């Protein structure tokens, strides 16, 4: 096998770096001169952590709380979306006529509705009816401090639990439509010879699908689904419209109170970038490792 040539830093790369640096400098200069904007970056760390005047301990402030909520919301949305998308993908790939129709109706409907519209519709017309009727927030307030603390650690406190659950389900429905197509493609990519080989050793159709086809399909779909998780993180910003206190919502609350528009928006952008870029690089690393083993 021929070794790939080492990547070199070319003049084109240098020109791109200089152009980006010049654009950044131009932005800051224009903000100062034209908008007469006074930068106050020194106050931003205080919105991540602050020292409690009573206990003297460091406590998470609004930006850090929003950042953690974004992670929790994305994880729950992806887990629920994975379950929903897997079921829909299996129905679409190997189900009967009715199963395929239900799956295609779900996928085509959700993928052709803006995610913002879906979140609003679900929150005001579905969640407001069922979650309020269930009384989840009222039930949680009556539980022990240990249970309330555990629920708050994994999701949200009693004051935010209804909005959090609604947002997680709405995002799961949206992301599940894309995961469904990933799973369907993974199943359909398995050669027919795999089925025939399993049947030749006496496996039934259901066991062949469960023990032979599905594991291979998931291996092929693993990295596309990991990429979908990154999309879920970015899509989570839209739930700020229903007052879920994730990163974007907390940032807008801070901007309304402090008028530090540029500093906070830039900080929020960097936080999203650090989270998604680190995941993207991790996925790329494991993808290359898997390719080498194969």
pLDDT at residue 2 greater than cutoff 50: no
Query: What average pLDDT is seen over the chain?
Result: 86
Asked which of 30-39, 75-84, 246-255 is least confident by mean pLDDT, the reply is 30-39
Asked which of 34-38, 55-59, 117-121, 211-215 is least confident by mean pLDDT, the reply is 34-38
pLDDT of residue 1: 43
pLDDT digits (tens, 9 = 90+) for 251-294: 999 999 988 888 899 999 999 999 999 988 888 887 777 766 65
pLDDT digits (tens, 9 = 90+) for 197-235: 888 888 888 888 888 888 888 888 888 888 899 999 999
> Under 8 Å CB-to-CB from 157, ≥6 apart: which residues?
140, 148, 151
Residues 207, 212, 218, 220, CA torsion sign: negative
Q: Give 59's strand partners.
A: 50
What percentage of the chain reaches a pLDDT higher than 90?
Answer: 35
**Topology given in CATH for the domain delimited by 38-293:** MetI-like fold (1.10.3720)
pLDDT of residue 9: 67
Helix (H, G, I), strand (E, B) or coil at 104: helix
Q: Which two tokens stand for residue 178?
A: 């894309």
Rg, C-alpha atoms of the chain: 24
d(CA 46, CA 63): 9
pLDDT of residue 136: 81
CA distances from residue 31 to 25, 34, 40, 282 in whole angstroms, order as listed: 10, 6, 13, 35
Among the ranges 7-11, 84-88, 158-162, 224-228, which has the highest mean pLDDT value?
84-88
Q: Which two tokens stand for residue 48?
A: 């991540």
* pLDDT mean over 70-80: 94
pLDDT digits (tens, 9 = 90+) for 131-153: 777 788 888 888 888 988 898 89
3-state DSSP: the chain helix, strand, coil percent, rounded to 5? 80, 0, 20
d(CA 250, CA 271): 13
pLDDT at residue 236 greater than cutoff 60: yes
By the 8 A CB rule, do 239 and 127 touch?
Answer: no
pLDDT digits (tens, 9 = 90+) for 34-51: 667 778 889 999 999 988
> Under 8 Å CB-to-CB from 89, ≥6 apart: which residues?
103, 179, 180, 181, 182, 183, 184, 186, 187
pLDDT of residue 124: 83
**Selected residue with higher pLDDT from 169 and 126:** 169
d(CA 260, CA 293): 50
d(CA 181, CA 282): 23
Q: Which two tokens stand for residue 70?
A: 């974004």
């Amino acid at each position: 096998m021929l070794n790939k040539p080492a990547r070199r830093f070319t003049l084109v790369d240098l020109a791109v770096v200089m152009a980006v640096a010049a654009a950044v400098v131009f932005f800051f200069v224009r903000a100062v001169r034209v908008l007469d904007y006074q930068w106050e970056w020194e106050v931003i760390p205080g919105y991540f952590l602050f020292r409690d005047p009573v206990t003297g301990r460091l406590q998470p402030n609004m930006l850090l709380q929003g950042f953690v909520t974004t992670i929790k919301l994305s994880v729950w949305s992806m887990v629920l979306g994975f379950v929903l998308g897997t079921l829909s993908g299996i129905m679409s790939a190997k189900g009967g006529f009715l199963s395929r129709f239900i799956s295609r109706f779900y996928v085509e409907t959700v993928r052709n509705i803006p995610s913002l519209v879906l979140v609003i519709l679900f929150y005001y017309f579905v969640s407001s009816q069922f979650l309020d009727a269930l009384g989840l927030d009222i039930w949680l307030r009556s539980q022990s401090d240990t249970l309330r603390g555990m629920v708050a650690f994994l999701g949200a406190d009693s004051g935010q639990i209804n909005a959090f659950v609604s947002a997680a389900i709405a995002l799961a429905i949206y992301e599940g439509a894309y995961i469904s197509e990933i799973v369907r493609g993974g199943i359909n990519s398995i050669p027919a010879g795999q089925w025939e080989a399993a049947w030749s050793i006496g496996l039934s159709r259901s066991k062949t699908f469960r023990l032979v086809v599905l594991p291979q399909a998931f291996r092929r779909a693993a990295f596309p689904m990991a990429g979908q998780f990154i999309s879920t993180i970015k899509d989570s910003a839209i739930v700020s419209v229903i007052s879920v206190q994730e990163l974007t919502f907390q940032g807008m609350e801070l901007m309304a109170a402090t008028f530090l528009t540029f500093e906070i928006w830039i900080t929020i952008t960097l936080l999203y970038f650090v989270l998604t870029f680190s995941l993207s690089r991790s996925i790329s690393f494991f993808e290359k490792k898997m390719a080498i083993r194969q």
